[in-house]
Amino acid sequence: MPSVIMSKKQTYFSILSGFNKEFNYTNTILYYEGDINHEITKSLTLTTENRLIKNNEKRIIQKKVFNIMVESLQNIDKHSTEPNSQMNINKGAILISNLTNYYSIITGNIVTEGQVKNLKKIFNNLKDKEKIELRFLYKSQLENGRLSDKGGAGLGFIDMARKACNPLKSGFYEFEKGLYLFVLEIIINKNL
Amino acid sequence: MEVLKIKETSDTPTIILDKENNIFEISGKSLPEDVNTFYEPVFNWLTKYFENPNPETIFTFNLDYLNTASSKSMLSLLLILENAVTKGNKVSVNWKYLTDDEDMFDVGEEYSQIIKVPFKFIPLESED
């Protein structure tokens, strides 16, 4: 989990597209950068869904891509730190690529130093976990949710990890003192 | 008791709660912007219904997708059913899922392990 400093020339797009070595313009299904809210989440997922239908992708894969897009965009919508007017950076970004054996969903958004600490803790906990362990973790977090509304920390990430059936890959790039760009890649295999 | 009928939208499910015809069903996708506002009337209806329920209540779930926030709301809904069972009512869940949709099956299985209500799993033929 690298924490590196962003150079002035780097943009959301350069970081997101550089996150997966197999990135190629012709394989891009969608790139979006800007404000992220509920309406935008709906339009981006619908656009991607239509694209996958056109490609005759299996329904079950379409659903996985849809599920993970919703979860990651709603995460950004709810938890991203809002950029202020001097920052010259958008709230979030998403890049979806259709590669030979899998779909790659890469998101980026702004987080504070405190959030970086929490996220690193969550990803450390998810690291190297088998599907059965992720299910157990999901269930116990959901059970915690029985006790309080605040319970179930990281439930969204656990859900993404188990649905993707691949480890989540994350990175943090400092672009201003105390503020980071949080990048997350989720891989969905085409052959389940 | 008045029927509660909510029509499906691109981010909310269809819900039918009909005491007279003994239909209790939720189907479709659930990813609303504000889960609490969306599910509040459902919880209120069910709480009132269980003050004087039918001899047997079978709640059908036929869900396509639940976001994380909705999965917590589903837990709250199931807790209302569990509470009714604890009070001696005959309540069960029919969990429908597409045969190839392991994710939705898993969600149901996890709920069935957390909630003390009898679950019946009903596979449906997939379109693929």
Locate the DSSP E strands across chain A.
3-5, 28-34, 92-98, 102-112, 169-176, 179-189
What's the pLDDT tens digit per position in A49-107? 999 999 999 999 999 999 999 999 999 998 888 877 777 788 899 999 999 999 999 99
- Minimum distance, in Å, between the CA of residue B67 and any CA atom of chain A: 6
pLDDT at position A153: 57
Mean predicted confidence (pLDDT) in A104-126? 93
> How many whole angstroms separate alpha carbon B121 and alpha carbon B112?
10
Q: How many Cα atoms sit within 13 Å of A190 on the Cβ side?
A: 12
Q: What domains appear along chain A, each with residue ranges and CATH number?
A: 3-112+167-189 (3.30.565)
pLDDT for B59 equals 98
> Which of B33, B75, B128 faces A145 most closely, judged by CB atoms?
B75
Span B6-32, average pLDDT:
97
Q: What percent of chain B has pLDDT over 90?
A: 91
Q: Do B101 and A143 touch (CB under 8 A)?
A: no
- The ipTM (two decimal places) reads 0.86
For A42, the closest of B10, B71, B126 (CB atoms) is: B10
